[in-house]
Amino acid sequence: MKQHYRAGIAGATGYTGAELVRLLQNHPHLHVQWITSESSAGKLLSDVHNVPWNIPLIPLEQGFARADEVDVVFLCLPHGESITAAQRFIATGVTVVDLSADFRLKDPAAYRRWYGKEHSAPAMLDDFVYGLCEVNREQLRGAHRIANPGCYPTSVNLGLYPLARAGWLGDHVIVD
């Protein structure tokens, strides 16, 4: 197993991206190679957020050009924008972890219902493993396309999973 991985983060100045940078800066086996921001390209991350890391922010287009410098790209882009970015990064052979909702749902109709628009690459939905490791640990081993679960679904799924495994839940569960 490889000891150190190089990561790129697309969309590093939004809430999710900034939190991910913070987490990865303290990770013993990941090094942040580059980060992108469309609105703050040319600045340092420390110019945008009160952080101690002077990491240059580059445009997403440069991230695509530098995909060969990383082992994994984390997409922290708005819902709907990760689809095209995922397609472009996947074409380079890099592992993609999407933190938006673009690959969490396997059903394009459910995506349309929840996000109010058509999924532009429904054929890709089955290529992504839902990244809830407590449930999909084996499928995640060696996966190169991962849909990171959201915080609310994670809390609900982890709470209900033992009941579902025991057969105590019906076909549909509504959590509101």
Give catalytic residues, as residue numbers: 151
Residue 76 half-sphere exposure toward CB, CA atoms < 13 A: 21
Q: Which residues contact 171 (CB under 8 A, 6 or more apart)?
A: none
* CA separation for the pair 44, 47 (Å, rounded): 5
Tell me 27's DSSP state: -
Give φ, ψ of 86 to 5 degrees.
-60, -45
Rg over CA atoms, the chain: 17
State the burial class of residue 48 (Cβ atoms within 10 Å of its Cβ: 0-12, 13-18, 19+). middle
Residue 20 half-sphere exposure toward CB, CA atoms < 13 A: 27
* CA separation for the pair 64, 165 (Å, rounded): 41
For CA atoms 63, 105, 30, 22, the dihedral sign is positive
